[in-house]
Structure 1
Amino acid sequence: MQHRSRSIEQGSAWRPWRRLAEAFAVIVGLAVLSPAHADKPYQYYVVGNPADASSSQPPREPSALLMGGGPDVDAAFQWMIARAGGGDFVVIRATGTDAYNPYIYAMGGVDSVETLIIPSRGAANDPFVIDRISKAEALFIAGGDQADYINFWKGTGVEQAINGLIARRVPIGGTSAGLAVLGQFDFAALNGTVYSDDALSNPYNKRMTIDRGFITAPGLDFVITDAHLDTRDRMGRLVGFLARIVQDGWSGMTRGIGVDVETALAVAGTSATRLGTGSVYFLQTNGLPQVCQPGTPLTYRNVGVQRLSGSGRFDLLNWRGYGGATTNYNLSAEGGLLYSTQPGGAIY
């Protein structure tokens, strides 16, 4: 009895410490900022299995996810997870936290979720950072400031690693600033944001910084993207971006995709579907602008718009919706003012 009593007392004495150790092990398993990385130019967090995993299925057609900012769309992440084949889901950003890790991991279907905070060109050329991105089965670029992404990541190992993922058909996604860098052309925001009125009144104002030559996600050739389209009234500046691209001779024809908040566009091959609560707008240029000069209000007539608001499909290759999926109208900038052919003149 004495022996048993001592055993019980010893177990009681050690139980709080054992529970503390078990809790600590769970925490470490859920989110790790490795001490080995503490003095590195990046930050790294992982939830789930930190070992490298492989997809359980070969990549299907090239795929991309464009999220318009605001509250995240659960169905959009679930769509990406389904294409990751149970592998490692990697989130990259220049600032912020690992808040996506528990959110995505709780959805299930992935081996791990990793966040890399990459705030400099040195970090973007670090072998560990490049390795973790290169081994992803899904990659998501978080919101923030797209100027950081272009300044810190363009022309670095990070860009090469992302292009490697695109080449092997790993799903690529982004929201807000992350969406802004997915097209062939990007609003770089190198001098801060630009508002629609400013873009239309002077398409060459100092905040109209447009970039090219960074990554191009599948289906987004000749495309410039914009997020928060409805809540921040960005249709006018998207028309301004299109005008600048063709006026400057970057492309004889260009296209724009604007995504509302709480909305995502899921691209599989050349077929795109809408997820979430808002609309997605597909714009296409119609020749050169009538007037697009520094210090002069923009005149650019008959930019075609197709609004996808329901569950239909949009073909990015032929740039058209099928089966009545879209509402079609034209926008025209006249002397810096935006007009629509929709009933009542609505531009959205």
Structure 2
Amino acid sequence: MKKNPTRPAMSGHPQGQGRPRTALRAVLLATALLSAGLVTPALAANKARLSTYDHGKPVDYLPCGAYALPTRAAVLMGGGLDVKEAFRWMIERMADCGSGLTGRPGNLLVIRAGGNPAYDSFIYKLGKLAAVQTVVVPTVDAANSTELEGYIRKAGAIWFTGGDQGDYYNFWKGTLLERVLSDHVRTYGIPVGGTSAGMMILSQYAYIASPSTITSAEALADPFKPDAVTIKRDFWTYGTPFEPLSGTVTDSHFDARDRMGRLLTFLARVIGDGWSSAATARAIGVDQETALLMSTTPGSAGAPSVTLRTVANPGVDGAAYLLRAASNSSLVLAPGLPLTFTRVQVRKLPAISAPSTYELNVDGGQLSSSTGSTY
């Protein structure tokens, strides 16, 4: 793995022990000097800067050249152990030029707010890639760095890691990173994806869990709980770059953390706050170690045709859940009152069994299912 030549080289240790020894010594020394009052905090502020890493041999072209991909693709991964099959699918999509043509291996760009480039070697082994590049963007200033544009414009696919979606919102909203990335994905139709928080930031409406997170029981009891039900609609300046996620709110770690109740609450808020109508608002939940693969092609009448498939790690019976309000749903939504939201339709897409549909009802904060099972 090669780091940006203007920066020290980094190790690719899978556990993230990738900090250069010289940099590590500098951090330890700065820490000691800070404790002694001998230096100012500015001298130990490297963590606030943009960091860039290369694994492989980066190229300066897109896999299919200056042409938009005929099939647009997105991966929504629910967190936990990464699903290799989803990455393989994404890598294949980035070089699918249409008409049976396969493009040249390109760059897959990983974007994160903190951490290290441990993802790079893992992804690089999963398909035909020229390089996997990581940019660590931990501040607004870093997200406005002009150095980012070259990485984004040469990316054949883009991946958001897990972490804290509140950081993504606070650091990246309205920056050069967000604007250039959105333009690049829209113009060339390159695949985009993310896991956990990285998945949740892809939808038009994002629950940012800032300053605190919320459980399903808490959300159903008060859909307006202060500082806990924090949904934003302005992360993407021009709307989500993957059109099928317009009007949508998402949630991850779904079954394992019992998040159906809070996702229902998020959907209710999107409708009740007037952001999307009951007819167009959607919600998507994805289980851990599971990924929803979404692809779209232009339809004959101009409306895109969307294909959905769920994949999971071996031995994992994970699923994706698609929620929408029925035409005869009723919604009672007010601060300090438990939620009432009836006739919410759920389409469950398991990875290893047949799809199913059922109905959920919330009455005074109490959730029930037409099948007896929430999931």
2:337 paired residue number = 296
Deviations 1:276-323 (A, max 9, x none): 1310100002367532111111111111101011469xxxxxxxxxxx
**Aligned residues with identical type, % of pairs:** 40
In 2, Cα distance between the equivalents of 1:290 and 1:52? 51
Which of 329, 341, 356 matches 1:327?
Answer: 356
Which residue number in structure 2 is paired with residue 211 of structure 1? 232
Deviates more, 1:242-251 or 1:138-147: 242-251
The alpha-carbon deviation at position 52 of structure 1 amounts to 2.3
| C-alpha displacement of 1:33 | 5.0
Q: How does 1:225-304 map to 2 (within 5 A)?
A: 225-253=250-278, 254-269=281-296, 270-276=306-312, 277=316, 278-286=318-326, 289-304=330-345
Counterpart in the other structure of 2:197:
177
SS at match of 1:137: strand
For these two proteins, the number of residue pairs brought into alignment is: 305
Once the two structures are superposed, the pairs formed by residues 93-108 of structure 1 within 5 Å of their partners are: 93-108=112-127
Tell me the distance in 2 between the aligned counterparts of 1:149 and 1:294.
27
User: What TM-score comes out, normalization by structure 2 length?
Assistant: 0.78
Aligned residue in 1 for 2:40:
none
Residue equivalent to 2:161 = 142
Equivalent residue, structure 2, for 1:114 = 133
Match of 2:19 in 1: none
Residues of 2 paired with 1:263 and 1:235: CA distance?
A: 16
Cα offsets for 1:130-153 (capped at 9, x unmatched) = 221122100000000000111111
* Structure 2: gaps (5+ residues): 9-22, 24-45, 96-104, 297-305
Measure the CA separation in 2 of the matches of 1:266 and 1:107: 16
**How far off is 1:198 after superposition?**
0.6
Query: What SS does the corresponding residue of 2:148 show, helix, strand or coil?
Result: helix
Secondary structure at the aligned position of 1:219 is classed as helix
1:62–1:218 CA contact under 8 A, matched in 2: no
Verify the 8 A CA contact 1:195 1:234 in the aligned structure 2: yes
Q: Distance in 2 between matches of 1:255 and 1:54?
A: 32
Give per-residue Cα distances to partners, 1:221-270, cap 9 Å, x unaligned: 11111110011100000000011111111111211110001110111101
Structure 1 residues without counterparts, runs of 5 or longer: 1-29, 313-324
Quick one: which amino acid aligns to residue 146 of structure 2? P
Once the 2 structures are TM-superposed, how far is the Cα of residue 214 of structure 1 from its aligned partner? 2.4
Shift of 1:36: 4.0
CA contact (8 A) 2:282 2:323 kept: yes
Tell me if structure 2 keeps the 8 A contact 1:281–1:306.
yes
Q: Could you tell me how far apart the structure 2 residues matched to 1:303 and 1:171 are?
A: 30
The AA in structure 1 aligned to 2:106 is: G
Bigger mean CA deviation after superposition, 74-83 or 47-56? 47-56
**Which of 308, 314, 319 is matched with 2:349 structurally?**
308
CA–CA distance in structure 2, aligned partners of residues 286 and 108 of structure 1: 41
More helix as a share of residues: 1
- The superposition leaves residues 188-234 of structure 1 with CA deviations (integer Å, 9 ceiling, x where unpaired) of 21222211011000000020000113231231111111110011100
Residue in structure 2 matched with residue 48 of structure 1 by the alignment: 56
TM-score (norm 1): 0.83
Q: Shift in Å at residue 56 of structure 1? A: 4.2
Q: Does 1:74 align with 2:84?
A: yes
1:27-46 mapped onto 2 (5 Å cutoff): 30-36=1-7, 41-46=49-54
What is the distance in 2 between the residues matched to 1:134 and 1:340? 46
Inter-partner Cα distance in structure 2 for 1:76 and 1:31: 25
Given that 1:258 and 1:282 are in contact with CA atoms closer than 8 Å, whether structure 2 keeps it comes out as yes
Which stretch of the first structure deviates more once superposed, 231-240 or 76-85?
76-85
